[in-house]
Structure formats: structure tokens, C-alpha cells
Amino acid sequence: MAKPKEEFPTFDPAALDALIGDARSPADFTAVMRALQKRLAERMLAGELTAHLGYGPGEEKPAGQTNHRNGATPKTVLTETGAVPLEIPRDREGSFRPQLVPTGVRRLPQFDATVLSLYARGVSVREIQAHLEQLYQVEIAPSVISVITDEVVAEVQAWQQRPLERMYPVVIFDALRVKIRDEGTVRNKAVYLALGVDREGHKEVLGLWIEQTEGAGFWLRVMSELKARGVDDILVALVDGLVGFPDAITTVFPQAQVHHCVVHLVRQSLAYANWKDRKAVSGTLRAIYRAPTEAAAVQALDAFAAGPWGTKYPAITALWRRHWPHVVPVFAYPPEIRRLLYTTNAIESLHMQLRKIVKTRGHFPTDEAAAKLLYLALRNIQAKWKRGNHAWKAAMPYLGMLFGTRFSDHA
């Protein structure tokens, strides 16, 4: 359906010319917009006071009304066009509480939205300050910007604790490395993201977790948190092959099928090979994971082990045999699903977008600062996602047939 055409109000050309005056430069037009915003805001505030008192300026007071207008208080607020001086009307009894510019508020929501939009794109606090001062010709302290971004922390916590679906057909787990200062030392910490795909093929970031201590205990905590937020079952968990991760998943979700990402496995295999041999080794490994059946895949792995590359690089064969229990399940699926479960590309694409944002930051002072920026970036990225991915939607009927009541009972 075509998007309805936006209608703009019409203005008397003479009145518009009188408003604009001699404005020619962008700064001139910004000043005009700021003056117009001031007049509109003060008119709305006057309307709020009229509604509060029950009578307008110059009108008779209602019977029994003792409260009345009592001048105005000057107040400067930060808006999306810069600093705007306002006259906030008062009443005699001091009971008036304006909604447009609440008591104690020095920034309008549009200004905060501008700051958060810049911050979510990886712009530092100092750079935001310089940009706003250049744009609005008003000095803004870095502490003001920090206060605005810190207000996101509660939103991050609420998002991280929100209820989830009872069942996800597929959940993809992968890590993003971020530099964070910890006890005076900058460390490369892993930020784990869980990307869930629901029964309609819609993608959703379920949460992010910054690694505090390495090992199965951390991953078990992640799984337990998903369980506590309402997830009863995961049909397929796709992971990058970290030791201990599959055990943590099956401890909390015992029926989950854990799949090793084949792309990660191939990359780990090529790390053992000389760079001149990698193309040939990669082509030979393709016969294993693209085999039509499990039996054919076992034969291809045995052939690789007995062949020239398996003889030259026995560590590759050992790597595949070690992870084989989490590679085998993929051969039970038709090609439509198998292609999706070969790789964690869905979440790696997400990581690529996040890396573009965090790479300009050097390192983060705290875990909280990293979580804040990653959350804002994820919010922007997810807003652009289409409602349903075609490939995942096409795969869901097959998963429904393969998993039966586990897929349907949580509807």
C-alpha cells in the first residue's frame, strides 16, 4: 500500500516573508526557527495555565476561584535548535505544573534524542559537544551529555530483563570482542549476543552479556537468565565451537540440538594450514559438510584424513572429529534449513555493523559504558530489520515437521 502523502499547512506568503525577513544563511534560519519555537512554546504554556485556572486572560474568574496569574519566570531550555529562553507562566498559589517544560527540566526530549542519536553512532562525548556547539552556537558541558546518555542505563536494564517467547526454533550465539578498562588494565572482553528466530522467521536480539570470567560458569549463567525470562525450549542452538558452551546449553535446555557453525570450523581448520595450501584445503573440506547424508560425510572425513592434506595437517582431522557430534545433526535437515545452519552469518552481519561503531572509541571505561553504546546501536539496527526474513520463514514449516509438538505446543 502506498504511503499517504504528507500534507503541510499553507501560509500566507506575505506573513511568511515577514517572518523570515532578511534571513539568508543557515544560521539566520536557525535563529528564525528558535524564535518561532519560543513563541509556540510560550503560547502552549499559556494554554496550559488557562486550562489549570479555568479561565483565560481578561475573562472573569469562575465563582469561588481565588487563584490567578502571577507573572512569569525566565528559564532557558535546550532544544533541537539550541538554547531557547522561555517565560514560564506562574499562578498565585504555586499549584501550576507545566507539562511541556516540567519543573526542573532544562532539556526538551528532542534535544536528548539528538544527543542519543549521535552517541549511538559511536561519536564520543567530546565530539558531540563540539558538534552541538558548532550547530547551535551554545556552550554545552560534557557533563550534560553524559547525564543524557546515562539515563539510558535503566532502559538497558529493562531491555535485558524483558520477558521472551516461550520457544525459539533457532538461537544463534556468538561473541564480539571489545576493549574495556577493568581494574586499571584495558582488556579484550567478549560481549556475547543471542539472536533468536521465532516461529514466524522474525529475528530478535534476546540480550547481550559482557564476559566477567571465562569458562562454562559464565555461559551457564547466560542460559539460566534466558530460562528465567520465560524461554522454555530452544530447538536448535547454533554456536561458534567454544569448549564448554554446548554443555552449558544442554544443561539448561536438555532437548536443544547444538550445532557447531561450519564456517567457524573451517576457519579454525585453516589456521593449521600453510597460507599457500589454504585454498586447496578449504575446497577439500567442502566435500565433508556439503555431503548429502551423514554416512557420506563420514566417508568424506575419512578420505580427508587418509589423503595428502589430512596426512600433512593431522590436527585438522582431530579438530573435526572432536566437534563431530555437533556437526552431524545438520545432515538430518533438508537443504533449505541446512544452508541456514551452516553458519552464524545472521549474527556476524550484526557484529560487523557494531564493529564499525565501536572501533572509533578505542576502549570503554567500564562494562556499563560498553553495554550502553551497544544497546543504542542495536536499537537502531533492529529498527531497520524487515518484519520477517524470507529464508527463515521458508525454513519454519520444515522445523515444524521435524520437531512436531515441541514446535507447535508453544504457539
Per-residue pLDDT of 160-175, as tens digits, reads 999 999 999 989 888 8
Mean pLDDT within 11-37:
64
**Residue 387 predicted with pLDDT over 60:** yes
Q: How many CB atoms lie within 10 A of CB 383?
A: 7
With 0.85 as the threshold, say if the pTM is over it.
no
Q: What pLDDT was estimated at residue 143?
A: 77
Three-state DSSP state, 25: coil
Q: What pLDDT was estimated at residue 410?
A: 62
Give pLDDT tens digits for 212-258: 665 667 888 889 999 999 999 999 888 876 667 888 889 999 999 88
CB-based contacts of 202, cutoff 8 Å, min separation 6: 387, 388, 389, 392
- What the block records as the C-alpha cell of 125 is 562525548
**Residue 1 predicted with pLDDT over 50:** no
Distance CA 411, CA 407 (A): 8
Residues of the chain above pLDDT 70, percent = 85
Mean pLDDT within 114-133:
78
Higher pLDDT, 381 or 106: 381
As a whole number, the mean pLDDT across the chain is: 81
Give pLDDT tens digits for 255-272: 998 888 888 888 889 999
Mean pLDDT within 87-92:
89
Distance CA 196, CA 171 (A): 4
Cross-strand bridge partners of residue 72: 89
**Per-residue buried b or exposed e for 41-72, using 16+ beta carbons within 10 Å of the residue's own CB:** bbeebbebbeeebeeeeeeeeeeeeebebeee
Distance CA 265, CA 240 (A): 8
* pLDDT band per the 50, 70, 90 thresholds, residue 81: low
* pLDDT band per the 50, 70, 90 thresholds, residue 20: low
> Whose grid coordinates read 556547539?
133
Q: Which long-range contacts (CB under 8 A, 24 or more apart) does 353-360 make?
A: 353/377, 353/381, 354/176, 354/378, 354/381, 355/176, 356/122, 357/120, 357/121, 357/122, 358/122, 358/178, 359/122, 360/122, 360/123, 360/124
Q: How many CB atoms lie within 10 A of CB 343?
A: 17
**Residue 373 predicted with pLDDT over 70:** yes
- What the block records as the C-alpha cell of 383 is 529498527
Note whether 229 and 163 are within 8 A (CB): yes
- What the block records as the C-alpha cell of 260 is 557447531
Q: What pLDDT was estimated at residue 229?
A: 94
Distance CA 178, CA 211 (A): 10
Q: Which long-range contacts (CB under 8 A, 24 or more apart) does 272-281 make?
A: 272/313, 272/315, 272/316, 272/319, 273/309, 273/313, 273/316, 277/309, 277/312, 277/313, 280/309, 281/309, 281/313, 281/316
Higher pLDDT, 310 or 153: 310
H/E stretch holding 172 reads strand 167-182
Residues of the chain above pLDDT 90, percent = 18
**Residue 156 predicted with pLDDT over 50:** yes
Fill in the amino acid letter for 99. Q
Which of the residue ranges 75-79, 143-147, 196-200 has the most confident prediction, judged by mean pLDDT? 196-200
Mean pLDDT within 282-301:
90
Q: How many CB atoms lie within 10 A of CB 276?
A: 7
* pLDDT band per the 50, 70, 90 thresholds, residue 356: confident
Q: What pLDDT was estimated at residue 27?
A: 58
Note whether 245 and 219 are within 8 A (CB): yes
User: In degrees rounded to 5, what are phi and psi of residue 192?
Assistant: -90, 135
Q: What pLDDT was estimated at residue 166?
A: 93
DSSP letters spanning 121-146: TT--HHHHHHHHHHHHS----HHHHH
Note whether 102 and 109 are within 8 A (CB): no
Q: Directed axis angle between helix 367-383 and helix 152-160, to 10°?
A: 70
**Terminal CA-CA length for the chain:** 29
Q: What pLDDT was estimated at residue 228?
A: 95
Distance CA 333, CA 340 (A): 10
Q: How many CB atoms lie within 10 A of CB 242?
A: 19
H/E stretch holding 169 reads strand 167-182
Give pLDDT tens digits for 308-338: 999 999 999 999 998 888 888 888 887 777 7
DSSP letters spanning 173-228: EEEEEEEEEETTEEEEEEEEEEEEE-TTS-EEEEEEEE-SS-SHHHHHHHHHHHHH
CA geometry: angle 308, 314, 320, nearest 5 deg: 110
H/E stretch holding 310 reads helix 308-312
